[in-house]
Chains A and B, each alone.
Chain A
Amino acid sequence: MGVPILFRPLKEISELNQHGALMDKAKLKKDIEILLIDDKDVPFLEFLTRNDYHIKHHNDLTDFNLVKSFDIILCDVQGVGTSLSPTLQGAHIVKEIKKLYPFKQVIAFTANPSDPDIVPHLHTADKFLSKDANEDEWIDALDNCIQKYSNPVKQWKEIRKMLLDCDVSTKSVAHLESNFVKAIQSKNQDLFLNTQNDYPDISKHVWEILGGLATLIKLFAPS
């Protein structure tokens, strides 16, 4: 029986202000796993791989558990996800990923961005590109996403909002924040993810979402 959580000294997210900026860009690029979902060959895949992005290409997505281990998702809006949603196709995948893993970065790309069935759903992605985007646009989009994804402060602020929206008490949010900071600082994800029993007011579903943060915390661990 340790010190009751109420009396443990709390860490604040501002302590990580420099963390994102101090990350080694080359290491980040190496560590960040990108999932590409497209039913066709992607001409730029070779170029991006040559530029040290770690991209795994899947022709479709039928199980969202596959997404868990990836940090960034590149998803075609047409031709994939037809078994999950025949009408929205890839747009449905994008929407679901952002629902299940709000902190993962999703780039949607399409050959026809003006398709009226697709446009209303494009804003759910963090960024969208047309299929013939040039090399600068692809790199710009990926680097931006890497930067946003690896910024623990920004990420936590989003998570904090989500937790409060899910009616998690402010006390629990404060303690979770402290654990998150500790996990990043000590590069030990267990300090955050193995504390589930301390928070009876957090539902299983919310914990599942928080569980996805493992990939983010892992980025700060020594290679």
Chain B
Amino acid sequence: MSEKKSLNPQNFSLLPVSKKSEEVPEDGLLHPLPGFCKNKFNEKCIKHYRECPEGPSTCPYGFSTVVFKSEGRTIKWTGLKVKGHYNKVDVDKRKSTHGLPKLTLEKIQEYKDKTLEVIKRLNSSFDEKIDHANKKLEFIQKHTINSFHEIRPLNAEVKAAILRIKSTLGAHKSTLDRDYDTAKRQLDAVSNSSDLISIRMKLRDFLINPLLVTQSEKKRIDIKNEIYSIINMYKSHLKRDQVQVNVTIPNSSQLKTNESFKIILYVLLENAIKYSPSGLGQEIDISEEKNDQTGKYEIKISSMGPKIHPEEMDKIFNAFERGVEASKYDGNGVGLYAAQRIASQLESEISATQAGNSFEFDSETFYSTTFFITCPYTTYRFNKYTK
């Protein structure tokens, strides 16, 4: 099939093709295929075009084909009437070919140079266009990288400014009275947003350069602390949407793993918050389970969320793929993909299930959804002092 397609002379359309069949090719113009030829692309023709030698030959339907090679390129002209190289009876009995001019081989030779010149001109024009497109792409990439490059120092300025304001506020706490609490709350909100920018930048870093996942420092991560620091970043969202997060993980739970593990917790918790219906007093439950038999340690994040159709279950971990229902919410289909990639680099896994529990709200059905992070038990540690 693909061979047929590649042999179709129409695919030479990179070259200028004459619109009128009676027009004599000039300035390297190619002649169009007769309609007859277009409909008759069959085994015989394919064989002919595959095997036709350099120079003139006759196609199975009596037309002339002229092949020439130049600078490693093979050019085939076909559907022609070249003196001495076409079957006059077969060709002339077709009315559609009556206007087709009769050419000589000498004339064809003349066209050859002109055609090559056109090809050369077109090639350089294409090269120019591709070059231009590449330069544009490079500029956009550079600009994007530079923009990201600038975000971090700016975010650092914001963080430092927050600390300075906090310190000033603290010094005037007694005189500010109730205004102090308001200002402190506002400042915390700015601080949380700044932390969210940082964590999203980290997510981007891990996506662009997966090497960073395992190069990030290996340390003991207090699961509960980490979850609470994420909850803290979303404090205002949770309050606004009336969503509550219940964490039933002991203080002693620690994982000895790379810092990048925190991104997995962040993505799953952020999703649970984002997809929870707002204003209904919904709850997100986070718990853990240790299984001595399987040697696995599991963190479970359960919430009510939009339907994930069975055929979508695996796809939600693909880049830029989202469930049909989830697509109604903001997002770009990168979070779960990144989390799964990080997890696999840390010998862990993320999976999801949806149970039968459901309810309808605002013409949408929400289902009980649980995401699991499964890690090797060896990374899990109890803090012996707090056990």
Interface residues of A (CB under 8 A from B): 40, 42-44, 46-47, 50, 111-116, 119-120, 122-123, 127, 130-135
In Å, the complex CA distance between A80 and B164 comes to 27
Interface residues of B (CB under 8 A from A): 145, 148-153, 155-157, 159-161, 163-164, 167, 194-195, 197-198, 201-202, 204-206, 208-209, 211-212, 215, 217
The 5 closest A-B pairs by CB, nearest first: A43-B160, A132-B155, A114-B208, A114-B205, A111-B152
The distance from the CB of B59 to the nearest CB of chain A, in whole angstroms, is 54
Chain A positions within 8 Å of B145 at CB level: 112, 115
Chain B positions within 8 Å of A130 at CB level: 152, 198, 201-202, 205
B205 close to A131 (CB less than 8 A): no
In Å, the complex CA distance between A119 and B149 comes to 15
In Å, the complex CA distance between A116 and B209 comes to 7
In Å, the complex CA distance between A130 and B164 comes to 20
In Å, the complex CA distance between A42 and B202 comes to 20
Chain A positions within 8 Å of B206 at CB level: 114
In Å, the complex CA distance between A24 and B376 comes to 38
Known: A43-B159, A132-B153. 14 other contacts (CB 8 A): A43-B156, A112-B152, A113-B212, A130-B202, A130-B205, A131-B152, A131-B153, A131-B156, A132-B151, A132-B156, A132-B159, A132-B197, A134-B159, A134-B198
In Å, the complex CA distance between A123 and B213 comes to 12
A132 close to B198 (CB less than 8 A): yes
Contact of B159 among A112, A120, A135 (CB under 8 A): A135
A-B contact pairs, 15 of them (CB 8 A): A43-B157, A44-B156, A46-B164, A111-B153, A112-B148, A119-B209, A120-B211, A123-B215, A130-B152, A131-B152, A131-B153, A132-B152, A132-B155, A132-B159, A132-B198
Q: Which residue of A lies closest to B161 (CB)?
A: A43
In Å, the complex CA distance between A123 and B214 comes to 10
A112 close to B198 (CB less than 8 A): no
In Å, the complex CA distance between A71 and B152 comes to 27
Chain B positions within 8 Å of A135 at CB level: 159, 163
In Å, the complex CA distance between A111 and B149 comes to 5
In Å, the complex CA distance between A142 and B202 comes to 20
Contact of A122 among B153, B201, B215 (CB under 8 A): B215
B148 close to A119 (CB less than 8 A): no
Contact of A114 among B160, B161, B212 (CB under 8 A): B212
Q: Which residue of A lies closest to B191 (CB)?
A: A134
In Å, the complex CA distance between A99 and B151 comes to 32
